[in-house]
Amino acid sequence: MSKLEIRSPLPGTFYRASSPETPPFKADGAAVSNGDVIGLIEVMKTFQEIPCDVSGQNIVFLVENEEPVMAGQVIAEVDP
């Protein structure tokens, strides 16, 4: 069974939480629903939310917190 991919719509720096003091939007292994925010992308000093466009179980992040990402890069995968 193939996994569902969640891609970054923009290039920039990926953040899993809204600030260093707050818990991540989604913990490793969490279930997600269409429209959930799974992280932020910092683009030129502004922050954009990354909404999830799929629903599934057991989210696995392929990008570390604060890592640079390219537009279209797969950030996380979930089981359908």
Partner 1 sequence: MTISSVLVANRGEIAVRIIKAAKALGIRTVQVYSAADADMLAVRLADEAINIGPPAPKKSYLNIEALIAAAKASGVDAVHPGYGFLSENGDFADAVEAAGMVFIGPSGDAIRLLGDKVAARSVAAKAGVPTVPGSDGRIDSLDDARAVVEKTGFPIMIKAAAGGGGRGIRIVLTVLELEQQFSQASAEAAAAFGNGGLYLEKVITRARHVEVQILGDGVNVVHCFERECSLQRRRQKVWEEAPATRLPADIREKLCASAVALARAVHYRGAGTVEYLYDEDAREFYFIEVNTRIQVEHPVTEMITGIDLVQEMFRVAGGAPLSVSQDDIKVRGHAIECRINAEDPSRGFMPAPGLIETLKIPESESVRFDTMLYQGYTVPPFYDSLLGKLIVWAETRALCLDRLRSALEGLTVTGVPTTIPLHLALVDDAQVRDANYHTRFLETWLDTTFAPPAQKSVEVA
Question: Which residues form the interface with partner 1 (CB under 8 A)?
Answer: 7, 9-13, 21, 42-46, 66, 68, 71-72
Q: Is 8 exposed, middle or buried (0-12, 13-18, 19+ CB in 10 A)?
A: buried
Q: At a CB cut-off of 8 Å and minimum separation 6, what does 58 contact? A: 29, 30, 31, 78, 79
Q: Report the nearest approach of partner 1 to the CB of residue 19 (Å).
A: 8
Nearer to partner 1, 7 or 30 (CB): 7
Amino acid at residue number 51: P
Is the CB of 21 or the CB of 35 nearer to partner 1?
Answer: 21
Please tell me the distance from the alpha carbon of residue 56 to that of residue 39, in angstroms, as a whole number.
Answer: 16
Q: Which is nearer to partner 1, 29 or 68 (CB)?
A: 68
CB 30 to partner 1: min, Å: 24
